[in-house]
Chain A
Amino acid sequence: MPSRRVLVLHAHPAPHKSRVNRRLVAEAEGVDGVTVRHLYEIYPDFLIDVREEQRILESHDAIVFQHPFYWYSAPSLVKEWMDLVLEHGWAYGSGGTALHGRIFAQAVTCGGGRDVYCSEGRNRHSVRDFLLPFEQSALLCGMDWRPPFVVHGTGDLKSAGEIEPFALDYRTWLESLRDGDGRSQETR
């Protein structure tokens, strides 16, 4: 099958203060067939251009939200984006078929390690569990939901050498979204 056009919607309110997320998005920008949009750069005033966003979504086959994991969810602009862009009659509801069949996935960087994100850990659930609202939103929009790409324990990843393997994994993950069936691993 022909390769998919992949859209990475990157949302980080303070990218200059991040290490892993910044490295990952730089990697994404180097992957052929991947478009990266930095939502906080485009909408520092939160005034989302709904028509423009919808037009861009319609010209891509796979949508990826890349963001840090804040309070078991995404930064606030992602919510704003979903509230406004995923309109009734466009994304869901009667006549809302614009996103049908397109892939939806998330790439999440998370401070806590795997040990705290499990049924025995302090957070009692995995990151993937916490992303349930996104999963259900995608399903409601008739999208082809894929498991997230998660980087755990970002606080411990200080040197470029430590981060590098995740960047390569991310590239591989994106390429598989682009070319293959996209069924993928949750990383470390």
Chain B
Amino acid sequence: MDDPTAFFESALVYLAAAVVSVPVAKRLGLGSVLGYLAAGVAIGPFALNLVGDAGKTGGLMHVAEFGVVVMLFMIGLELRVPVLWRMRGSLLGLGGMQVLLSGLALAGAAMAWGVGWKASLAAGFILSLSSTAIVLQSLREKSLHGTPGGRHAFATLLFQDIAVIPMLALLPLLGTGNDSAGHGGLSGQPGWLRALAVVAAVSGVVFLGRWLVPRLFGFIARSGLREMFTAAALLLVIAIAVLMTRVGLSPALGAFVGGVVLAGSPYRHELEGDLEPFKGILLGLFFVSIGAAMDLSLLLVYPMEVAAMVGALVLVKGGVLALLSRVFRFGPDTGALYTLSLFQAGEFAFVLLGQANGMGVLNQSLTGKLNLVVALSMVLTPLALLVYQFLWMPRFGKSSAIAPREADKVDHASPVILVGFGRFGNYVGRLLRSQGHRPVILETDAEHVELTRRLGFEVHYGDATRLELLEAAGAANAKLMIIAAGDEETIDRLVETATRHYPQLKLVVRANGMNHRMALYNRGVEHVFHEMSGSALDAGAASLRLLGLPAFTAERAARRMARHDLQSARELAPVMHDESAYTAMVRERVANLENLFRMDPLHPHGEDDHAWEVDAKRRGDR
């Protein structure tokens, strides 16, 4: 990053290209990944030629690569150890078979092509990895990630991400011994020391996630500075990445481990919310840079060869995937989605190909061609998913694609989100839990989060007025949101965010007073609850009993008052803004009181229980 203006200039070009092409691609139904890649090609040397070679982008490429790290951290965040354990079957069986079979088959194909066995083996296994970024992003955009095919694809991708470590470790064995690519700061050290460093680093990450981060975040939360959270979240991921690079491990994998460790922490949703925008934009830049770096001249010089290589990759990998779909008895629909989503090579291939080239495993020309093959296969993915979506699914796919909301989903989403777990929310939460519902609970008071966690509640720290956090809590898939925050402004903002972005959400909302309640009715919220009226009426009923009224009569009086309250609020709500805004404000306090009095039933005991009077019985002589 020697020239700061170069950084900004390339950022300008990248972002401008993305901002133009991604919405267009989405409008055309191509998905954002293809849009980013197209943006890259457009600004690349073979179209507008707005970016120089990689060295002149002012380090933007490295920043973009960090997107992959952040993405794996967030994948880890969604996977708690018990979930991983439950997935062990498809993870090891399906994922393991996929990598092993694809790797060997692709290596065989390469040897048949006339490549040496070492280079073939390296290229085969590198290409056996699929693109986590493209596949997850595309599946999510098309809401296919919850389907059985989507889940199998996810498990396989996860195994591939893990398989990157042994690959990185084994690559040097295939090399010429010329370890020029470097392995981080420890490359010159003996093997046992490196192994020790790896163990120490991984333990360090676990320690970081288990012990240090919750304390650090609790400390930050108490300071009340929101941007410090974002800073701390980035710091955490960068620290893990640096640590891992130092000991020669993939930073992405380290981030993944860190994510898994933090998946059970109360700050999970907050972390997700903080990092989501970074992940999105960085990953986008990463795809743009892949598009820009594609050496399309190779395609002009060796069109048949490159096309044949892409064809071979797609056919071999797709064949293995189709075979696995049979072996694991997927239905035709699940099998089709599984095969069509994973046949490409992934972003890790760029990293590994670079390493392999550096170690002398692969020569320069083959590496260049393979890079192009990888990129082209990635470009094919959104197209293949379009085929699935528009040609396959309408004909065969109804069963599994229509019902994506199953209980056993990887991303744990609860149909209920409870915002605020204070004096009001904890009653709602306990009541829901007593009937077997486990809401995702969001709370902004860090100390309160820790206390209630110790009592066995799954409470997450986070400010739910932020859209990203609601997204992370699963608002897009939830059915019900209970807004139990105490502060009127927070409640209103939550109502606005929820109704605008998640129209499917049913809302149950706490109101701070009579006027707030009416205002919420006016905004179309149906289920509004005065935060005090319930217990105040209970207290009133208890007082009536102490004054000698029978318990049942007191209870009915309180219930009648509550019902009257509800009706009055609904009736008065539409006219509450009849006066000019100014007068309304001046009168607000008066009106509040007035409204309360206006609501009082004229007949304190009600008029509907004459049947229980002694003389009534005489009338009917029943």
Contacts and interface: CB of A to CB of B under 8 A. Distances in A.
Interface of A: 12-20, 40-42, 44-45, 68-72, 75, 110-113, 116, 122-123, 154-156
Nearest to B612: A14
B612 A17 contact: yes
Given A69-B622, A70-B622, A16 B614 contact: no
Contact of A155 (B549, B550, B552, B617): B617
B620 interface: yes
Contacts of B622: 69-72, 111-112, 123
A69 B614 CA distance: 10
Contact of A13 (B612, B618, B621): B612
Contacts of B596: none
Interface string B583-622: 0000000000000000000000000010111111110111
Nearest to A121: B621
B618 to A, nearest CB: 3
B551 interface: yes
B125 to A, nearest CB: 65
B137 interface: no
B612 A155 contact: no
A55 B198 CA distance: 65
A40 B552 contact: yes
A15 B550 contact: yes
A14 B557 CA distance: 12
A12 to B, nearest CB: 8
Interface in B252-297: none
Contact of A41 (B550, B609, B614): B550
A41 B549 CA distance: 10
A123 B555 CA distance: 34
B495 interface: no
A40 B609 CA distance: 15
Given A41-B550, A44-B551, A154 B612 contact: no
Contacts of A71: 622
Task: Say what secondary structure dominates the interface of chain B.
Answer: helix
B554 interface: yes
B555 A19 contact: no
A125 to B, nearest CB: 12
B553 interface: yes
Given A69-B622, A154-B617, A16 B551 contact: no
Contacts of A45: 555
A111 B617 CA distance: 5
B609 A14 contact: yes
Nearest to A122: B621
Given A13-B553, A14-B612, A154-B617, 7 more contacts: A16-B550, A41-B552, A68-B617, A111-B616, A111-B622, A113-B621, A123-B621
Contact of A154 (B553, B611, B614): B614
Nearest to A77: B552
A129 B620 CA distance: 19
17 contacts: A13-B553, A17-B613, A20-B614, A44-B551, A44-B554, A44-B556, A45-B555, A68-B617, A69-B622, A70-B611, A111-B614, A112-B618, A112-B622, A123-B622, A154-B618, A155-B617, A156-B618
Contact of B621 (A16, A42, A44, A112): A112
A26 B549 CA distance: 16
A41 to B, nearest CB: 5
A37 to B, nearest CB: 13
Contacts of A110: 617
B149 to A, nearest CB: 48
Contacts of A42: 551
Contacts of B556: 44
* 5 interchain residue pairs of minimum CB distance: A111-B617, A155-B618, A44-B555, A14-B612, A44-B551
A113 B617 CA distance: 11
Contacts of B551: 40-42, 44
Contact of B609 (A13, A15, A116): A13
B615 A155 contact: yes
B86 to A, nearest CB: 38
Contacts of A75: 612
A147 B144 CA distance: 71
A71 B616 CA distance: 12
Nearest to B620: A111
Contacts of B611: 70
Nearest to A14: B612
B252 to A, nearest CB: 56
Nearest to A115: B621
A66 to B, nearest CB: 15
Nearest to B556: A44
Nearest to B551: A44
A113 to B, nearest CB: 8
Contacts of B615: 155
Nearest to A11: B552
Nearest to A111: B617
Q: Which of B550, B609, B616, B620 has the most CB of A within 10 A?
A: B550
Nearest to A21: B614
Contacts of A111: 614, 616-618, 620-622
Nearest to A156: B618
Contact of B550 (A20, A40, A69, A156): A40
Contacts of A15: 550
A13 B552 contact: yes
A47 to B, nearest CB: 11
Contacts of A155: 614-615, 617-618
A110 B616 CA distance: 11
A176 B616 CA distance: 33
B617 A112 contact: yes
Contacts of B550: 14-16, 40-41, 44
A14 B613 contact: yes
B274 to A, nearest CB: 45
Contacts of A16: 549-550, 553
Contacts of A112: 617-618, 621-622
Interface in B555-582: 555-556
Contacts of B621: 111-113, 116, 122-123
A74 to B, nearest CB: 12
Residue from A17, A18, A45 with most neighbouring chain B CB atoms (10 Å): A17
| Interface core residue of A20, A69, A112, A113 (most chain B CB under 10 Å) | A112
Contacts of A44: 550-552, 554-556
Contacts of B613: 14, 17
A13 B556 CA distance: 10
Contacts of B616: 111
Contact of B614 (A17, A72, A113, A122): A17
A122 B622 CA distance: 9
A69 to B, nearest CB: 7
